[in-house]
Amino acid sequence: MEKLGNKSFATRIKAFREEKGISQEDLASMFGYKKQAVSHWENNGKVPRTNVLEKLAGYFNTSSDYLLGFTDDPTPRTNATEQKKPKDLLKIIEQEDYTLNGQIATQEDRQRLKKLVEVMYWDAKSQYKRK
C-alpha cells in the first residue's frame, strides 16, 4: 500500500530533527503535540496546521515552502513586513541620488526639498491636532 501525504515534508522534517539531535518526543512537546504526531509527520507526510508549520519552519530556520517541497532552497523567506520597511523620506532626500524633471538633484535642490517636506509634515500634523 502506498503512503499518502507529503513525502518532501516527511523527509525534510525528519532530517531537520535529526540534524538538531532531538527526539520525536522532544519536538512534539515543543509544539504542543504528542510523539505520535511527529511520527505521522515523518512516516506518513501528514502536514500540521499552517500556524504549526510556520513555527516549525522558524524553529528549523527555513521556510514552509521548503518543508513542503515547493522549493529546493532552504533559505528562510523574509517576512513581508521586513521586506517593506518604510523608508525615512528625509534620509532619502539627503543621501540617495534622484532626479527632478529629468535632472540629477543638486545639493541646493536637496536642501529646498527637505525644507518643503518638513513644512508639509508639520502643517499636516497641526491640522490633525485641530480636529
Residues facing residue 104 across a β-bridge: 99
Output the nine-digit C-alpha cell for 38.
Answer: 511527529
pLDDT in tens, 13-39: 999 999 999 999 999 988 889 999 999
Q: How many Å apart are CA 92 and CA 24, to the nearest integer?
A: 50
> Helix or strand or coil: residue 80?
helix
Q: How many Å apart are CA 4 and CA 43, to the nearest integer?
A: 10
Q: What is the CATH number of the domain that holds 55?
A: 1.10.260.40
Quote the domain boundaries for residue 122: 86-130
User: Do 48 and 34 form a contact (C-beta atoms < 8 A)?
Assistant: no
pLDDT in tens, 30-75: 888 999 999 999 999 999 999 899 999 999 999 999 999 999 988 8
Residue 2 lies in a domain: no
Residue 1 lies in a domain: no
82 pLDDT above the threshold of 60: no
**pTM assigned to the model:** 0.57
131 pLDDT above the threshold of 50: yes
pLDDT confidence bin for 81, thresholds 50/70/90: very low
Residue with cell 505521522: 40
Q: Are residues 110 and 53 in the same domain?
A: no
Q: Are residues 62 and 18 in the same domain?
A: yes
Q: Are residues 70 and 97 in the same domain?
A: no
* Residue 35 identity: K
Q: Are residues 111 and 74 in the same domain?
A: no
pLDDT at position 2: 44
pLDDT at position 5: 81
- Of 71, 3, 73, 1, the C-alpha closest to 41 is 3
Output the nine-digit C-alpha cell for 101.
Answer: 524633471
Q: Are residues 69 and 17 in the same domain?
A: yes
pLDDT at position 86: 76
130 or 48: whose pLDDT is higher? 48
Residue 109 lies in a domain: yes
Q: Are residues 58 and 94 in the same domain?
A: no
Structural domains of the chain, count: 2
